[in-house]
Structure 1
Amino acid sequence: MKTPGFWYRPQATPAAWLLAPAGALYDVASRLRRAWVSPQRAPVPVVCVGNLVAGGAGKTPVALALGRRFREIAVEAHFLSRGHGGSLAGPVRVDPDRHSAAEVGDEPLLLARAGPAWISRDRPAGARAAAAAGARLILMDDGFQNPSLAKDLSLLVVDGGSGFGNGLILPAGPLREKPADGLKRADALVVMGADRAGIADLAARHGLPALGARLVPVAEDAARLRGRKVLAFAGIGRPGKFFATLAELGAELAGAIPFPDHHAYTPDEVMRLVETAQERQAVPVTTEKDLVRLPPEARPMVEALRVELAWDNPAAVDAVLEPVVRRVGLV
């Protein structure tokens, strides 16, 4: 679904207040689930990259950055995801050459290009399968609210500009749970972009480290698109951020078309986008995450802007990871 605009307005709108009772029920159900389920311990340490809002915070780039760091220090980390939007229940090891986004979801395909990645709706079963295949550490992309698998380290990703939106629970707002509840189970916060929402101060009040990070376009892609007229489209949590990134790197926007998060593009949709781009003498451009959801035959007609995560203070990240890295050597 598309992110409702009222989720990120400073004050709750009439629509938000009408949906607030449903949000209260969602919150109660989530609390009961966490209270009733006994987390299972994986054979190896588990690091969870989660968030408190529905979509758009940047979990997957953070997971990819952590995966790179673990490889640099020779820790065999495997990614684990539910496989949102995919048809396979798992546990399945993702093969980018064999699996499609319709089978395993878009994010696992990106993760699998960077390292061993698994999807499993049953998270403990997925962790056991990864460990049996040689993983010394499980790196979960999402799953912070899933109580079935015990976490050794939990990082919450928060957008520094939008924070927690209107502060209401789904569907009245973007929150999956109340921040006060989630912060009790977190070990650190990752603040994406400029901290205009006071996230670092909130982390300090809860005794948690705040790790600054930002998404930067891959230099090669930025140079290729700078000064060119582009027709941008994206089906991510907050497509406006992608459109703004293109404008900031110097591309000329001939159009910006949002789609629902995890949208499965049809061949006809892609052809209409390509034809519109041609009419406007522009290049169709999307995100790397969207590209894997395009029909394979349509991908050569569309360009993607890749982004990567840069830490403000890599040493602070290493300090947060140190306890779990030490435990890897003992497993």
Structure 2
Amino acid sequence: MRLIEQVWFYRHQAKWLIVPLLAPLSLVFWLLSVLRRALFTLGVKSSVKVSCPVVIVGNIGVGGNGKTPLVLFLVEQLSQQGIKVGVLSRGYGGQAPHYPYLLNEQTSAEQAGDEPVLIYQRTKVPVIVGSDRVAAALQLIAQGCQLIISDDGLQHYRLQRDYEILVVDGKRQFGNGLLLPAGPLRETTARLNSVDRIVVNGDKPLNVSTVKPINTMLLTATRVVNVKTGEQQMLAEFIAQHPRVNAMAGIGDPPRFFQYLCELGFVLDKSQGFIDHQAYNQRLLAPLISANYPLLMTEKDAVKCTAFAESSWWYLPVDAQFIGDGGQQLVTDIKQLLQK
């Protein structure tokens, strides 16, 4: 794990040097953020309202926190009720031939980024990537979409939104509570009071107060999927056959994935964490390849490994589940947007 992340989230002793050094830059970041949002609020910079509802699934910090599983949940739930949903994303890490770029069956993670490819492969709904979210939204509408879900983009104020969902990693939450670069936040925690709903990924209570409704989301797994062949196997059966595995994760918090594997009953022989959105090749993963143990990874990693995967490589898809009726509350709120 990078030293700066240990300072942000785990109170590493280097904070006594690094935080005072970076604090002036955080002040500048805060001033620019406040000014930028004020320009949109006052109408100095124009925002665009598109012809269908836009739902933002975002966060105020850096790193993974569960946005993509929540997007998948919403897309699947709304699609089952006959609503044509489209997804837009920045497409971080991808190099598409043009933007906005509409994903298809041949689109690779190198072109569109790992998360958009994951969403498309799981849901088969229209997914578009591009930094100009207004242009991407208009193209989704041209595809016949009735509702747009933006994977991230909470701070992209040029695109007007009808509903904001702020996702919080229940484990790491807001770190040291400071803005970039002294801390992990892009906006202060005061932003929690201006969104429509907060979803906490994990069963730990928030360490800050808010007046907005909070739902608790848990990520659960029931099966594993072979990266090379697509074969599926029930998780309990797989663990019985392969109790010891090697593991890798290129996500916001790799130790969380490894801890979850241990909670499921796996014993990790080797584990390797990579930076979020890490690009992979056979040579990079060679130390994790074993004749004795399968290699287990996240679904986000798998979409970048299909071209060179071996038959012993598997990924663990996770699904969002809600404590109580929180998930249904979200779906009901969003469906009501279509009636306005």
| SS of corresponding position for 2:309 | helix
Distance in 2, Cα, partners of 1:310 & 1:111: 17
Provide, for residues 204-245 of structure 1, a one-character-per-residue CA deviation record: whole Å limited to 9, x for no partner: xx2x11011100112455321355211111110000110001
Q: 2:197 matched to 1:188? A: yes
Distance in 2, Cα, partners of 1:293 & 1:306: 14
Look up the match of 2:140.
Answer: 130
1:39 is aligned, of 31, 47, 60, to: 47
| SS of corresponding position for 2:308 | helix
Contact between 1:160 and 1:198, CA under 8 Å: does it hold in 2? Answer: no
Q: Which amino acid aligns with 2:5?
A: P
Q: 2:235 matched to 1:222? A: yes
Q: 2:165 matched to 1:164? A: no
Contact between 2:202 and 2:218, CA under 8 Å: does it hold in 1? Answer: yes
Gaps of 5+ in 1: none
Distance in 1, Cα, partners of 2:284 & 2:300: 17
Provide, for residues 135-171 of structure 1, a one-character-per-residue CA deviation record: whole Å limited to 9, x for no partner: 0000111000111101100000012222111111122
Deviation at 1:110, TM superposition (A): 1.0
Q: Which amino acid aligns with 1:209?
A: P
- Kindly tell me the number of residue pairs found equivalent between the two proteins: 318
| SS of corresponding position for 2:166 | strand
Matches within 5 A, 1:56-135: 56-88=64-96, 90-95=99-104, 97-113=105-121, 114=123, 115-135=125-145
1:300/1:109 CA distance change after superposition, 3 Å: farther
Q: Which amino acid aligns with 1:50?
A: G
Distance in 2, Cα, partners of 1:152 & 1:249: 38
Matches within 5 A, 1:14-29: 14=16, 15-29=18-32
Which stretch shows the higher mean deviation, 221-230 or 169-178? 221-230
Look up the match of 2:215.
Answer: 211
Deviation at 1:329, TM superposition (A): 4.0
Look up the match of 1:302.
Answer: 313
Distance in 2, Cα, partners of 1:44 & 1:65: 20
1:299/1:109 CA distance change after superposition, 3 Å: farther
Deviation at 1:282, TM superposition (A): 2.0
Contact between 2:78 and 2:331, CA under 8 Å: does it hold in 1? Answer: no
TM norm structure 2: 0.87
| SS of corresponding position for 2:115 | helix
Q: Which amino acid aligns with 1:250?
A: G
Contact between 1:45 and 1:328, CA under 8 Å: does it hold in 2? Answer: yes
Deviation at 1:261, TM superposition (A): 0.7
Q: Which stretches of structure 1, 4 residues or longer, exceed 6 Å deviation after superposition?
A: none
Contact between 1:161 and 1:196, CA under 8 Å: does it hold in 2? Answer: no
TM norm structure 1: 0.89
| SS of corresponding position for 1:158 | strand
Contact between 1:221 and 1:306, CA under 8 Å: does it hold in 2? Answer: no
Distance in 1, Cα, partners of 2:22 & 2:248: 29
**How large is the RMSD of aligned CA atoms in angstroms?**
2.1
Q: Which amino acid aligns with 2:102?
A: R
Aligned residues: percent identity? 35
Look up the match of 2:329.
Answer: 319
1:248/1:171 CA distance change after superposition, 3 Å: same
Which stretch shows the higher mean deviation, 72-81 or 131-140? 72-81
